Amino acid sequence: MGRLCETEGLTEDQTEIIKAVRTYVEEKILPVATELEHADEYPQEIVDGLKELGIFGLTIPEEYDGLGESLLTYALCVEEIARGWMSVSGVINTHFIVAYMLMKHGTEEQKKKYLPRMATGDVRGAFSMSEPGLGSDVAAVKTKATQDGDGYRIDGQKMWLTNGGTSNLVAVLAKTDEGSDSVYKNMTTFLVEKEPGFGETAPGLTIPGKLDKMGYKGVETTEAVFEGHRVSADQVLGGATGQGFYQMMDGVEVGRVNVAARAVGIANRAFELAIAYAQQRETFGKPIAQHQAILFRLAEMATKVETAHAMMVKAARLKDRGERNDVEAGMAKMLAAEYCNEVVQDSFRIHGGYGYSKEYEIERLYREAAFMLIGEGTSDIQKMIIGRALLKDYQLKG
């Protein structure tokens, strides 16, 4: 390993966990990632290994059988996993968000019911906010939950569910009639249980199949169609309706730190591939790394990786201290995603024609990097969040 993406001030436990994950990536993920990705094959053996490492319960408190680690520890583990294969980090990302929402907003009964089994990976979470007609415009949600006896009936169509097939617990945002003038207070998060797989996975809930994507292969992304699916009132996250928007945004905030970590992991791997290839490939009688144009490019790539890593770490530590980090998470996600694409493109260029060949790993990274630009909100959305917050902080007086 090189000098990039090292983090100061870690505890001994954090260091050992990250070291174990790094070893697992080197031995179990990197050797098979490109083959599995090209085959669009679910990495079951890798996922089973992550269960044994305790990754699914990394941030779940010890009282619910988890490891009780911080967001920073989780983000650094995600960075390592994404360096091996970004899709694997997707397997645990939405699971982590649902577990976080339960920890922060769930009732004690909901925590006891789900968190111990989420810690072992027996219950796998998926996060469902987007719809065919909305992405960042959450206020436009159309999926409705109407009171039906002592429970609710859910009707509508959700989109872009990572782990939509393999999950058996989905946090679903739906519109409810709370009588509020604010659309944001008329949304509720429901904990929907289903069977893993495709087709009708619960009465009134259909997972049609995998969406075919440019990258982010292996992990499945799906739709979810609700037609009269009934849930009990006990399945309202936190036990109170009308809180769904705020619960989901809290989950997305930590998700942005996660996406930043994934972007750093991809960028770091792209840099590693580039600097190795540049020392092997010769032109005009010497390795291309000795040509100034390549040397300058490598220097810029490494600087971008380090900068994105530092911003991601800052955002995670703020959240761990219980402070609001919407600006820092937005900055980290935006910068890491943009830099990731720039670093991967530079690595692609250094590889020359070989970068266009599927035999080389950089081809896979090139397709994976694009997802970082849109996952958990586009760069433009991050700029809106950051800009509005800055105007409040720097508002002129008088």
Catalytic center residues:
376
Amino acid, single-letter form, for residue 356: Y
Distance (Å) of CA 276 to CA 2, 285, 297: 11, 18, 14
Neighbouring C-alpha atoms within 13 Å toward the C-beta of 180: 13
Q: Which residue has the tokens 């044994």?
A: 52
- Whole-angstrom CA distances from 371 to 77, 121, 204, 262 are 19, 25, 31, 10
Question: How many Cα atoms occupy the beta-carbon half-sphere of 138 within 13 Å?
Answer: 23
| CA-closest candidate to residue 86, choices 380, 279, 393, 367 | 367
What separation in angstroms does the CA of 256 have from each of 14, 316, 372, 377? 21, 10, 10, 8
Alpha-carbon Rg for the chain, nearest whole angstrom, is: 21
Structure tokens at 284: 């005009």
Smallest CA-to-CA distance from 46 within 82, 14, 99 is with 82
Q: What is the dihedral of CA 169, 175, 180, 181, to 10 degrees?
A: 130
DSSP label of 322? T
State the Cα–Cα distance between residues 323 and 316, nearest whole angstrom.
10
Rounded to whole angstroms, how far apart are CA atoms 311 and 74?
15
Give yes or no for a contact between 231 and 239, defined as CB atoms under 8 angstroms apart.
no
Write out the DSSP string of 98-141: HHHHHHHH--HHHHHHHHHHHHHTSS-EEEE--BTTBSS-GGG-
Question: Are 159 and 226 spatial neighbours (Cβ–Cβ below 8 Å)?
Answer: no
